[in-house]
């Protein structure tokens, strides 16, 4: 069975998708982490978005892996390096959104995502899971929330993962910037699938959303 959860930045897709996958004992795919890892690799190797030749080489060289460590934590590996924390910075967020607008990048990552999920039970989370990558999914959800609430949630998450304080106003600016990039790009823009169940999470707790999703499935 395949369940997709899409939505804009900071809406809590990751937290919800992880919780749903763990309750159902399904695998979990964070597709955004793949865009982030790719952006980090490009950044470290000084590859610009418009450098077609270097970008093609990058897509051949890059190997992204999801590994669960001994404590049960999901780790993201870029080739041999654990980049779980490095891909969560604000700079990489914006850069990932830029690379996500490149057709070649999307084509390669889409194939990787399809290969990963094949013949397994999965909850996948991202921007285009139910629309362009897995239109055949069994259940599709689209989470949305007021941008200010999303900025607050993102600030809290960044503080928890990176251990630093962040200004909500700055994060709100970045969320608005990413919303525009993700929703207006020519290839696979962010929007709900026609058959997606839309949940406005503005006034809901994580538990409410998780229960809402599970109720629709079982």
Q: Is 97 in the site for ligand DC (CB under 6 A)?
A: yes
> How far is Cα 55 from Cα 94, in angstroms, rounded to an integer?
18
Q: Is 8 in the site for ligand DC (CB under 6 A)?
A: no
Q: Is 131 in the site for ligand DC (CB under 6 A)?
A: no
Q: Is 84 in the site for ligand DC (CB under 6 A)?
A: no
Tell me which of 55, 58, 96, 213 binds ligand DC, using CB under 6 A.
96
Give least dist CB 218 to ligand DC, A. 25
Give least dist CB 146 to ligand DC, A. 17
Give least dist CB 51 to ligand DC, A. 19
User: 25 vs 118, which CB is nearer to ligand DC?
Assistant: 118
Number of shown-chain residues binding ligand DC (CB under 6 A): 15
User: 175 vs 213, which CB is nearer to ligand DC?
Assistant: 175
Give least dist CB 32 to ligand DC, A. 2
Whether 139 and 3 have beta carbons less than 8 Å apart is answered as yes
Binders of ligand DC among 175-194, rule CB under 6 A?
178, 182
Which whole-number Å values give the CA distances from 143 to 34, 112, 137, 182, 201, in the listed order? 20, 24, 16, 15, 7
> How far is Cα 192 from Cα 206, in angstroms, rounded to an integer?
20
Q: Is 100 in the site for ligand DC (CB under 6 A)?
A: yes
Q: Is 153 in the site for ligand DC (CB under 6 A)?
A: no
Give least dist CB 208 to ligand DC, A. 21
List Cβ<8 Å contacts ≥24 apart for 162-167: 162/85, 162/88, 162/89, 166/90
Which whole-number Å values give the CA distances from 158 to 6, 31, 59, 180, in the listed order? 20, 18, 28, 21
Which whole-number Å values give the CA distances from 112 to 64, 116, 128, 152, in the listed order? 9, 6, 14, 32
Give least dist CB 212 to ligand DC, A. 20
* 164-197 core/surface letters (b: 16 or more CB in 10 A; e: else): eebeeeebbebbeebbebbeebeebebebbeebb
Q: Is 154 in the site for ligand DC (CB under 6 A)?
A: no
Footprint of ligand DC (CB under 6 A): 9, 31-32, 35-36, 93, 96-97, 100, 126-129, 178, 182
């Amino acid at each position: 069975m395949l369940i997709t959860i899409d939505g804009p930045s900071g809406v809590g897709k990751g937290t919800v998708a992880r919780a749903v996958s763990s309750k159902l004992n399904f695998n979990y795919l964070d597709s955004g982490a793949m865009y982030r890892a790719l952006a980090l690799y490009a950044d470290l190797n000084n590859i610009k978005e418009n450098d077609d030749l270097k970008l093609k080489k990058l897509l051949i060289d890059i190997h992204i892996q999801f590994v669960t460590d001994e404590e049960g934590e999901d780790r993201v590996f870029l080739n041999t390096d654990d980049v779980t924390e490095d891909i969560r910075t604000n700079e990489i967020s914006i850069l990932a959104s830029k690379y996500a607008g490149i057709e070649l990048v999307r084509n390669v990552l889409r194939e990787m995502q399809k290969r990963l999920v094949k013949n397994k039970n999965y909850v996948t989370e991202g921007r285009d899971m139910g629309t362009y990558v897995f239109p055949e999914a069994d259940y599709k959800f689209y989470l949305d929330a007021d941008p200010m609430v999303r900025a607050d949630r993102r600030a809290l998450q960044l503080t928890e993962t990176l251990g630093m304080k962040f200004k909500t106003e700055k994060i709100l600016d970045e969320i608005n910037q990413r919303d525009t990039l993700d929703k207006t790009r020519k290839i696979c823009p962010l929007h709900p699938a026609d058959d997606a169940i839309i949940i406005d999470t503005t006034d809901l707790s994580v538990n409410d959303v998780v229960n809402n999703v599970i109720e629709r499935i079982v």
